[in-house]
Structure 1
Amino acid sequence: MFIQTEATPNPATLKFMPGRTVLEEGTLHMPNVEAARQSPLAERLFGIDGVAGVFFGNDFITVTKGGSEWPHLKPAILGAIMEHYMSGQPIVRSGAGAVPDGEEEFFDPADAETVDTIKELLETRVRPAVAADGGDITFRGFKDGVVYLAMQGSCAGCPSSTATLKHGIQNLMRHFLPDVREVQAI
């Protein structure tokens, strides 16, 4: 098994690509050990001293470090991923899955058409680019002209995330939707 690694715009995260499907659909953000209980692979990764977060996409795993350095962590992470795939265990335990982190979307029903367009723009133009960097951005709400988004994986805590939101996503939304004044991260 050959696992590729790729740097992300966030220096605290690395993207690991096992050459296999990680999640059939959706994404799964596990920012702590408690959240990792739904995945044997995430538990294995959190067992490595210095791992502070795990994120699963369709064909990649993003690992966030906390305090340790990549030259020390990377071999242990590669070994844990390889061991997991060799074990035959599932990525996610039965009954668990790629689900939102429990926060409900909020918007006025009168804005449903605008929200549908926001979601379509996120799905077709933003999420594929963000996934290439090892992260994800999901819609959380729309109120008074402000789009609220949740940033996950390498996007969470990334130094360039503000620029991505303000200069990339906000400009895109404003171009297609005059009702959008601003984009903010939750």
Structure 2
Amino acid sequence: MFIETETTPNPATLKFLPGQQVMPSGTRDFASPEEADVSPLAQALFDTGEVTGVFFGSDFVSVTAAPGVDWSALKPQVVAILLDHFVSQAPLFTGGDASGIAVPAEDENMGDDPADAEIVAQIKDLIETRVRPAVAGDGGDIRYRGFRDGVVYLTMQGACSGCPSSTATLKHGIEGLLKHYVPEVSEVRAA
């Protein structure tokens, strides 16, 4: 088995591609060792003591290093942990259930106005078809959180969370796209 590594726009995060499916559906973001209790793989990565974030995508794992950590020393450890996990075909989550799978984005919203249902459907479709694939390419994900008074609320995850360019991505990239296709959108904000 060979694990490819890609850089991301976030210098603290690397994207690891094991050449096979990681998550059967959805994504999962672990921002702390406590959150990683449901996943032996995420826990093993945090146990290095040099990892501050783990993100599972459909076919990749993004790992965020603590400030000041040298990737040249951490990368071989991460690759070894990933190889052990995928070669042994260990379960991604404990208990064999879906306890670790992220809640679908539509269940995380902030209470959209039913009168905005058509606008929200357009926004979600654009996020799903145009934005999420691009963000996944950078080792992250984006979650729809709500639409109120012309403002779309989104949450960045994985390599995109805490990335120096995430604000620019939200404001210049995603906001421009949504405003172009959905005139009712006036602004995009991080939630």
- TM-score interval for Structure 1 and Structure 2 normalised by the shorter chain: over 0.9
Partner of 2:100: 97
CA contact (8 A) 2:40 2:92 kept: yes
Q: Find the residue that maps to 1:32 and give its secondary structure.
A: coil
CA contact (8 A) 2:26 2:104 kept: no
Partner of 2:2: 2
Deviation per CA, 1:21-56: give whole Å up to 9, x if none. Answer: 100111000111111111111011111121000000
* Pair 1:44-2:44 in alignment: yes
* Pair 1:80-2:81 in alignment: yes
Paired with 1:101 and 1:19, the residues of 2 have a C-alpha distance of 25
* Pair 1:145-2:145 in alignment: no
Paired with 1:112 and 1:2, the residues of 2 have a C-alpha distance of 45
Partner of 1:24: 24
Q: Find the residue that maps to 2:152 and give its secondary structure.
A: strand
TM-score, normalised to structure 1, is: 0.96
CA RMSD of aligned residues (A): 1.4
Paired with 1:49 and 1:162, the residues of 2 have a C-alpha distance of 28
The 1:127/1:73 distance shift into structure 2, 3 A limit, reads same
Percent of pairs with identical residues: 55
Paired with 2:17 and 2:87, the residues of 1 have a C-alpha distance of 15
In terms of mean alpha carbon deviation, does 88-97 or 100-109 score higher?
100-109
Paired with 1:104 and 1:82, the residues of 2 have a C-alpha distance of 33
**Amino acid of the residue matched to residue 19 of structure 1?**
G
In terms of mean alpha carbon deviation, does 149-158 or 100-109 score higher?
100-109
Paired with 2:37 and 2:30, the residues of 1 have a C-alpha distance of 9
Selected match of 1:119 from 105, 121, 124: 124
Q: Find the residue that maps to 1:58 and give its secondary structure.
A: coil
* Pair 1:158-2:163 in alignment: yes
In terms of mean alpha carbon deviation, does 159-168 or 100-109 score higher?
100-109
Structure 2 gaps, min length 5: none
TM-score, normalised to structure 2, is: 0.94
Paired with 1:82 and 1:24, the residues of 2 have a C-alpha distance of 19
Superposed displacement of residue 132, structure 1: 0.4
Structure 1 gaps, min length 5: none
The 1:49/1:97 distance shift into structure 2, 3 A limit, reads closer
Deviation per CA, 1:58-113: give whole Å up to 9, x if none. Answer: 00000001131101110100011111123331112223132239983121111111
Number of residue pairs aligned between Structure 1 and Structure 2: 186
Partner of 2:182: 177
**Amino acid of the residue matched to residue 105 of structure 1?**
N
